[in-house]
């Protein structure tokens, strides 16, 4: 698991806010409380990583809490850690075996051909866009 630090903060009359220091621009918030704000940050992290990979950008190495605390920028914030499944950020090609009815496979192949894709490429594209 890759671990990304999350920080939660609340000012009077504002929702809880969460930032992920190692992922520039990655943040979330929630009116329902700190637990919901931190949970929402998981989705924000996943979307940030997916967007970065789609744009050919690298995923930064997570900082330690100690290093982030040394900056003083997050004094008074509450620390939390997010686990990220390494498979979600790994673009290594892996061969898989699936079972489909012939009619579905024929339809898949027709649609892939119309899109100018291979079967595998079409399945991957559909997964990323839906």
Residues of the chain with CATH 3.30.160.250: 2-89
CATH architecture of 2-89: 2-Layer Sandwich (3.30)
> Tokens 């009815």 label which residue?
101
Cβ-Cβ contacts under 8 Å for 88 (sequence gap 6 or more):
46, 49, 50
> Tokens 């899109």 label which residue?
115
User: Tens-digit pLDDT profile for the chain (130 aa)?
Assistant: 466 666 667 777 788 888 889 999 998 888 888 888 888 888 898 889 889 888 888 888 888 888 888 988 888 888 888 777 777 777 789 999 999 999 999 999 999 999 999 999 999 989 878 8
Distance of alpha carbon 60 from its chain centroid, rounded? 13
CATH architecture of 93-130: Orthogonal Bundle (1.10)
Residues of the chain with CATH 1.10.1220: 93-130
């Amino acid at each position: 698991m890759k671990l990304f630090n999350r920080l939660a903060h609340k000012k009077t009359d504002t929702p809880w806010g969460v930032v992920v220091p190692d992922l520039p621009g990655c943040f979330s918030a929630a009116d329902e409380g700190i637990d919901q704000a931190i949970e929402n940050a998981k989705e924000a992290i996943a979307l940030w990583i997916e967007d970065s990979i789609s744009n050919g950008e690298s995923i930064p190495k997570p900082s330690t809490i100690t290093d982030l605390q040394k900056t003083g920028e997050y004094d008074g914030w509450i620390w939390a850690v997010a686990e990220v499944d390494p498979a979600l950020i790994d673009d290594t090609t892996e061969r898989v075996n699936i079972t489909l009815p012939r009619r579905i496979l024929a339809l898949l192949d027709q649609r892939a051909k119309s899109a100018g894709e291979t079967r595998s490429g079409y399945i991957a594209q559909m997964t990323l866009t839906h």
